[in-house]
Structure 1
């Protein structure tokens, strides 16, 4: 039993990390686990969340009163030359204690607190917008990986087909029924496809690394092959008018711009309040020897004489407010334009896929079968057969590209909405 103890201890130490490693190893096949993983680990999103939390903590200090001030004034520390200098309050001529509290002009504290609240709201929306951006990039990279894996598979299938065509051409050449050029053409075509396969593998490696980077994982960490693409929403759910209204109500960038605009309005109002003085109220007891014999009340206020400086600050506040208005208007127009473009692209990709799947691809396959039968009987030359094979490959690639393009555009729409459809 004692001999088994080290093994049990080691197993207990390793066990907590096993589920995490199993979860990491299972990543890649589906999109939702990737998004859930990134939401808790993406450093860029975590940084903006921390900044939003920091902005929220500035609200209370912004509306608080300044700390009171306390001072001690030792008077006549030599008692008119009767003694050596002393710092003992009971031995000086008198000691004055001062407690002073600064109080801003009416409404300034509320305005500062409101500005801080709006800045915190803008920081939260920037964090939400960053997550929408990160999630959109994950969705796009997932779709691109799906495309590259399927393209590799299609290329290998076409390579196998060309291998069979080469054997057919070789058999016909051996029987004197075809020219040697047919065999060479098949070999050249295969070499070209192998070159494309290398390019696809390189692009897949790059997409793999980009996706791992978004997940805050090492670039060479394993990812499973994407199993499927997300289903597209029905056309009725992609109505521009409804989605444009939804984007105006939920887009994180528009929310952040709106918060910045309102903060600029409050800042301008606060700047104009600086025309009025701030106050300070205090009380000062005066000690003679060991007893308090006098009390003083103090009222201070700053005199706003530097009018040129204040007018410059007011003009600055007006300019910042105008900039915030223009920025929000530009963002609203940009969101509407990008939304319309992405919705149009989704519809075009959907129609292209339907056309390819329902018409062009079956026609290309029939053409290839007819060309293959014709070549075997000597009625069709090898160039026609290769061209028919290329048409099948092009139709399948375009079908796959249309599927992936639609999902990439869907990710763009969801980024603009700040939420999934």
Structure 2
């Protein structure tokens, strides 16, 4: 073997190893690896996280005292009293006053501002949790579509191989005089139709890969590992437990409940607006001629505009009623969605049991009988093709029903949290 051939062999081995390594480290074999990527790289969820961080930072700033005010006052800038010339420089006028004033909110207002900021941060965290549940359900659903396309492709390619064998058998029977030309044409037609079906499934698979990569913040054609079979479906679920968990733990319900507390805080803040705010200050007086002195100031805001405050209290009371109504509406809507998902889950589970225990065994028995009949020249190619098609259709129906059951399970998980 020449040196060039050896080098070519080495490079071919390296390329093959590189492809195998890339496939082994590509995500997608299970949904958990994709969820980790989505939590890290999905831009929409990242935005929710940053908004939550911003809301948490606002808690630290809430309730702080307002900044003090500094005032410089120049008295008698024309120097009329001293007979001098006009000046605007401190120390060169009749008297210079330096004043610092610190506003002081009324009693309890700062604490209420902090409570409002804490409630806002809690709402932001609930919104982030809700965004993650939605993203998690989307990733699980997209991966399930990817898994379904891969399984359909596997079934169809197996069927394609069987049809190629039947086509060859039909051709051999025709040449030996045992079969008809019609059997050959029917077998060829079924094989061609199956090849078209494989192309359609491959297109669906590519679309599923692009949709899944979009949720992960990756390029549409980024490689994904072949999906492994998912975990078995749970044997049974308690609907009452799911409803209770959805009512108490769903992020939207939590956010609306926090909104009720936030509305209560706003009502209290509106009530506290009837109380005055204050300010204290100190002034340093420095005359051009004479002795320096200090002044102490106390200021109180007079809450005369009671009509405005009455309207504000009525507004916050109405907003509180609206927040409570939104909370009840969220609970009702989520319970309805949970009931619909539960019905889908039950229907798919029952159909899955029927397909596995009855229809698929019957289709396989019919196929085996048709194959045996063909070997004994008791049935024709058409009966075998029909039996094989019945098995494929049943397997595809079983796969579709399993996917529907898992989709319903994903929706139940999105609404009620992790399923045990």
TM-score (norm 2): 0.87
1:316-352 CA distance string (max 9 Å, x none): 3233323322221121122222223323333333332
Moved more, 125-134 or 24-33: 24-33
The alpha carbon displacement at 1:66 in A equals 0.9
User: RMSD over aligned Cα, in angstroms?
Assistant: 2.4
1:27-57 CA distance string (max 9 Å, x none): 1112222222222222222211111110011
User: 1:319 is matched with which residue?
Assistant: 318
User: 2:64 is matched with which residue?
Assistant: 64
Corresponding position: 1:120 with 2:121: yes
The alpha carbon displacement at 1:24 in A equals 8.9
The 2-side partners of 1:294 and 1:156 are apart by: 96
Moved more, 93-102 or 46-55: 93-102
User: 1:244 is matched with which residue?
Assistant: 243
Moved more, 340-349 or 376-385: 376-385
Corresponding position: 1:328 with 2:316: no
The alpha carbon displacement at 1:306 in A equals 6.7
The 2-side partners of 1:262 and 1:323 are apart by: 12
Moved more, 311-320 or 45-54: 311-320
How do residues 122-137 of structure 1 correspond to structure 2 at under 5 angstroms? 122-137=123-138
The 1-side partners of 2:269 and 2:185 are apart by: 82
1:96–1:287 CA contact under 8 A, matched in 2: yes
2:74–2:93 CA contact under 8 A, matched in 1: yes
2:167–2:191 CA contact under 8 A, matched in 1: no
Moved more, 226-235 or 79-88: 79-88
Corresponding position: 1:165 with 2:152: no
The alpha carbon displacement at 1:103 in A equals 1.9
User: 2:14 is matched with which residue?
Assistant: none
Structure 1 residues 24 and 116: CA distance shift in structure 2, 3 A: farther
User: 1:75 is matched with which residue?
Assistant: 75
User: 1:298 is matched with which residue?
Assistant: 298
The 1-side partners of 2:168 and 2:314 are apart by: 82
Count of residue correspondences = 399
Secondary structure (helix, strand or coil) at the match of 2:91 reads helix
The 2-side partners of 1:178 and 1:291 are apart by: 129
Moved more, 397-406 or 196-205: 397-406
TM-score (norm 1): 0.87
2:250–2:416 CA contact under 8 A, matched in 1: yes
User: 1:371 is matched with which residue?
Assistant: 370
User: 1:361 is matched with which residue?
Assistant: 360
Corresponding position: 1:279 with 2:273: no
User: 2:11 is matched with which residue?
Assistant: none
The 1-side partners of 2:24 and 2:126 are apart by: 30
Structure 1 residues 364 and 402: CA distance shift in structure 2, 3 A: same
The alpha carbon displacement at 1:273 in A equals 2.6
1:279–1:302 CA contact under 8 A, matched in 2: no
Corresponding position: 1:38 with 2:38: yes
User: 2:226 is matched with which residue?
Assistant: 225
The alpha carbon displacement at 1:312 in A equals 4.2
Secondary structure (helix, strand or coil) at the match of 1:295 reads strand
User: 2:93 is matched with which residue?
Assistant: 92
Secondary structure (helix, strand or coil) at the match of 1:91 reads coil
The alpha carbon displacement at 1:291 in A equals 4.2
User: 1:8 is matched with which residue?
Assistant: none
User: 2:404 is matched with which residue?
Assistant: 405
The 2-side partners of 1:122 and 1:296 are apart by: 44
The alpha carbon displacement at 1:311 in A equals 4.4
Secondary structure (helix, strand or coil) at the match of 1:223 reads coil
The 2-side partners of 1:70 and 1:190 are apart by: 90
User: 1:392 is matched with which residue?
Assistant: 391
The 1-side partners of 2:22 and 2:388 are apart by: 43
Structure 1 residues 315 and 185: CA distance shift in structure 2, 3 A: farther
The alpha carbon displacement at 1:123 in A equals 0.4
User: 1:27 is matched with which residue?
Assistant: 27
The 1-side partners of 2:152 and 2:273 are apart by: 66
1:25–1:222 CA contact under 8 A, matched in 2: no
The alpha carbon displacement at 1:59 in A equals 1.5
Structure 1 residues 302 and 195: CA distance shift in structure 2, 3 A: farther
Structure 1 residues 75 and 24: CA distance shift in structure 2, 3 A: farther
Structure 1 residues 320 and 24: CA distance shift in structure 2, 3 A: farther
User: 1:111 is matched with which residue?
Assistant: 112
